[in-house]
């Protein structure tokens, strides 16, 4: 595999890396398009080896100086939640006026303590240090080294969270604080968000070091970006303080990898068909839908901003069997398809047997189809057709269920609220390794024009590579208390009673730009917008005492400005390496 040097290739090169539970995909992009793509098995017990192997093959004979951007997406934290493999962590909750925090108990290591701050940020009851130290001893006796600390109104005054952290910082490896996760007031979601951050921290830390060390071994000394659930990127170093933002990074990469090929002025459905799951999303005029409150996974309702995606256990390697005379597919996966040495029949075996796929061992696929055929009383070909059609039908049924749920609630995109809007897809975009084999059947069953995006098997990695850096800031200003603060950034400043809404917007904008640049944003790729603005008059005894301002501003998710050149000018380069 040799690098074909050309005088025209002076444009920067971008690496996109998607670390999945089964495979890790890596792509090398230039202005000419997709130069190389690599697929290697993911070894979760040795992520350094996995990532380094991908980079070794991807960058063979490539001048390192040409690489200017590396962006990574991963499903590792998502899979840990689904498989209930989260680390055990401690949680300390300081309440305020209102509901007893015991209502939101997570597990046996959840501890509510005294102390109270009200909705204006005023201390009503001090903390009891002896109580907190006693709880810390009980947590440490269980060999727990990661701690989450949440105060009910910490976004109005984080003093109690900081006080607990300072008291315990020498006793725990890492302490996550509630006021860092969001500027929104939502006590139960804040608890869940901090708990998720703490629970996935060790896995993310290992992933962080694997990526960093493998790039250093290749001589790459450039900032590394990681894709967040909202479809934007952040500096990998920054992600250590908020690892929960990598949850749903993989599905977000699917969405970002489809945007360039989505039609304008209509709704498009995105189906990323993988080996284990299919990820489903919707684009409205090339813009992804947003989960406005935050990610919900199982019992966890969080404040982690995310694109609205839906994942279900149906894919190319889903376990196919017959139960009580009925054909069942998924949601489990026992391994690869029989055609590739796996233990049980899968939809992929049906594709190989029907000669829709030209890879794999047809004899092994036939063996699997014969077993299913005998159980159903059909011919092997009829059984394979039934498996293939049911797989497509199940995927479309899940997609339709998502559309129905979306249409029963207000529709939000990452840019705006669409009042009274109803989703009606007129285009289906397919991604994932099996995508080309499903396209014709999905179009026939759905009646919707269906297109396989270019380089569909590595579209996730391409989407990650082209996503731009995003972040948000929430500013709270209280002219009566003469204080403005952005809790997530540990920013507090004195203001005058003459502080205006224009001052609030300007201060928020300054903070956002500073955060965006720190997170790795390029000034040419920063589209800024206000996503929430509130103003309240403070009145006491019929007399005005001041105003409260709340401004939330974001750098909008989207693709970097270079995406048109990458995606539409020679999308698949003729020199591309097909993988290993």
* pLDDT tens per residue, range 341-364: 999 999 999 999 999 999 899 999
**pLDDT tens across 211-233, in order?**
888 888 888 888 788 999 889 89
Q: Which of 506 and 86 is assigned the larger pLDDT? A: 506
Among 5, 4, 3, 43, residue whose Cα is nearest residue 24: 43
pLDDT band at 11 (very low <50, low <70, confident <90, very high): low
580 pLDDT more than 80: no
Q: Which of 68 and 493 is assigned the larger pLDDT? A: 493
What's the whole-number mean pLDDT along residues 322-337? 90
387 pLDDT more than 90: yes
**pLDDT tens across 264-298, in order?**
889 999 999 988 888 899 999 998 998 878 887 66
Q: What local confidence, expressed as pLDDT, does residue 4 receive?
A: 36
Please answer whether residues 245 and 304 qualify as being in contact, where contact means their C-beta atoms are separated by less than 8 angstroms: yes
Residues 6+ apart with CB under 8 A from 444: none
Angle, alpha carbons 313-317-321 (nearest 5°): 80
Alpha helices in 150-186 (DSSP H): 159-168
Q: How far is CA 223 from each of CA 13, 234, 467, 520, rounded to the nearest angstrom?
A: 14, 10, 15, 7
Using the 8-state DSSP alphabet, how is residue 109 labeled?
A: T
pLDDT band at 1 (very low <50, low <70, confident <90, very high): very low
**pLDDT tens across 514-565, in order?**
998 888 787 777 788 888 889 988 887 778 888 999 999 988 888 887 666 6
Q: What local confidence, expressed as pLDDT, does residue 579 receive?
A: 34
Using the 8-state DSSP alphabet, how is residue 261 labeled?
A: T
Q: What local confidence, expressed as pLDDT, does residue 571 receive?
A: 46
Q: What local confidence, expressed as pLDDT, does residue 250 receive?
A: 85
Give helix 47-58 / helix 187-217 axis angle, nearest 10°.
50
pLDDT band at 82 (very low <50, low <70, confident <90, very high): low
Q: How far is CA 119 from each of CA 16, 86, 96, 162, 199, rounded to the nearest angstrom?
A: 44, 32, 8, 17, 28
Give the integer Cα–Cα distance in Å for 462 and 38. 12
pLDDT band at 419 (very low <50, low <70, confident <90, very high): confident
Alpha helices in 478-546 (DSSP H): 501-518
The pLDDT mean for the chain works out to 86
Least confident of 95-109, 350-364, 474-488: 95-109
Give helix 129-140 / helix 159-168 axis angle, nearest 10°.
50
What's the whole-number mean pLDDT along residues 436-453? 94
The rounded percent of the chain whose pLDDT value lies above 70 is 93
b/e burial code for range 370-402 (CB count within 10 A of at least 16 → b) = bbbbeebebebeebbbbbbebbbbbbbebbeeb
577 pLDDT more than 50: no
Give helix 459-466 / helix 249-259 axis angle, nearest 10°.
80
Q: What local confidence, expressed as pLDDT, does residue 69 receive?
A: 86
Least confident of 319-333, 444-458, 528-542: 528-542
What's the whole-number mean pLDDT along residues 404-418? 83
pTM of the model: 0.82
Q: What local confidence, expressed as pLDDT, does residue 247 receive?
A: 85
33 pLDDT more than 90: no
| Range ranked top by mean pLDDT from 1-10, 70-79, 438-447 | 438-447
Q: What local confidence, expressed as pLDDT, does residue 142 receive?
A: 94
Residues 6+ apart with CB under 8 A from 30: 9, 11, 12, 13, 14, 566, 573
Copy the structure tokens of residue 53: 């192997």
The rounded percent of the chain whose pLDDT value lies above 90 is 44
Long-range CB contacts for residues 437-445, cutoff 8 Å, separation at least 24? 437/351, 437/356, 437/357, 438/273, 438/391, 438/392, 438/395, 441/388, 441/389, 441/392, 442/271, 442/392, 442/395, 442/396, 445/389, 445/392, 445/393, 445/396
**pLDDT tens across 157-188, in order?**
999 999 999 999 999 999 999 998 887 888 99
pLDDT band at 301 (very low <50, low <70, confident <90, very high): confident
pLDDT band at 312 (very low <50, low <70, confident <90, very high): confident
471 pLDDT more than 60: yes
Residue with tokens 């928020």: 508
Q: How far is CA 222 from each of CA 177, 225, 363, rounded to the nearest angstrom?
A: 29, 10, 48
């Amino acid at each position: 595999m040799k690098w074909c040097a050309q005088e025209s290739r002076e444009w920067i090169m971008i690496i996109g890396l998607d670390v999945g539970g089964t495979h890790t995909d890596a792509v090398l992009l230039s202005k000419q398009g997709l130069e190389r793509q690599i697929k290697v098995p993911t070894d979760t017990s040795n992520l350094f080896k996995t990532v380094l192997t991908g980079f070794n093959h991807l960058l063979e004979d490539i001048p390192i100086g040409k690489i200017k951007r590396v962006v990574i997406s991963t499903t590792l934290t998502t899979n840990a939640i689904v498989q209930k493999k989260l680390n055990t962590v401690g949680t300390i909750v300081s309440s305020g006026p209102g509901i007893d925090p015991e209502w939101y108990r997570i597990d046996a290591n959840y501890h509510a303590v005294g102390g109270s701050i009200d909705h204006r940020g005023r201390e009503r009851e001090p903390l009891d240090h002896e109580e907190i130290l006693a709880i810390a001893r009980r947590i440490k006796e269980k060999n727990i080294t990661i701690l989450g600390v949440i105060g009910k109104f910490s976004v109005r005054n984080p003093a109690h969270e900081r006080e607990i952290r300072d008291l315990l910082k020498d006793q725990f490896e890492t302490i996550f604080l509630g006021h860092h996760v969001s500027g929104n007031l939502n006590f139960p979601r804040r608890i869940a968000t901090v708990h998720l951050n703490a629970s996935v921290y060790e896995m993310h830390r290992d992933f962080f070091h694997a990526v960093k060390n493998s790039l250093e071994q290749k001589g790459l000394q450039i900032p590394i970006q990681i894709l967040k659930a909202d479809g934007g990127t952040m500096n990998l170093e920054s992600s250590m303080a908020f690892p929960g933002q990598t949850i749903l990074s993989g599905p977000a990469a699917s969405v970002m990898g489809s945007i360039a090929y989505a039609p304008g002025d209509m709704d498009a459905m995105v189906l990323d068909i993988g080996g284990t799951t299919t990820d489903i999303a919707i684009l409205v005029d090339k813009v992804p839908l947003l989960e406005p409150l935050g990610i919900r996974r199982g019992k966890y309702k969080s404040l982690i901003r995310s694109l609205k995606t839906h994942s279900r256990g149906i894919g190319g390697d889903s376990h196919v069997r017959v139960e009580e005379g009925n054909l069942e597919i998924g949601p489990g996966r026992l391994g690869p398809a029989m055609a590739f040495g796996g233990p049980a029949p899968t939809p992929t075996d049906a594709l190989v047997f029907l000669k829709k796929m030209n890879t794999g061992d047809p004899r092994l696929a036939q063996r699997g189809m014969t077993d299913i055929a005998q159980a159903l009383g059909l011919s092997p070909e009829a059984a394979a057709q039934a498996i293939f059609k049911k797989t497509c039908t199940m995927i479309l049924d899940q997609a339709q269920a998502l559309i129905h749920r979306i249409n029963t609630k207000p529709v939000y995109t990452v840019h705006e609220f669409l009042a009274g809007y109803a989703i009606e897809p007129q285009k289906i975009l397919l991604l994932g390794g099996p995508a080309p084999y499903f396209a014709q059947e999905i179009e026939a069953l759905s009646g919707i024009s269906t297109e396989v995006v270019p380089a569909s098997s590595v579209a996730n990695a391409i989407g990650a590579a082209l996503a731009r850096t995003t972040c948000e800031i929430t500013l709270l200003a209280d002219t009566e208390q003469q204080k403005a603060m952005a809790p997530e950034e540990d920013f507090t400043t004195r203001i005058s009673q003459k502080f205006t809404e224009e001052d609030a917007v300007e201060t928020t904008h300054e903070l956002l730009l500073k955060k965006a640049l720190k997170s790795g944003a390029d000034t040419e790729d920063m589209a800024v917008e206000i996503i929430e603005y509130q103003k309240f008059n403070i009145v006491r005894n019929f007399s005005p005492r001041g105003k409260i301002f709340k401004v939330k501003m974001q750098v909008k998710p989207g693709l970097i400005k270079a995406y048109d050149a990458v995606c539409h000018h020679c999308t698949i380069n003729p020199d591309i390496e097909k993988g290993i």
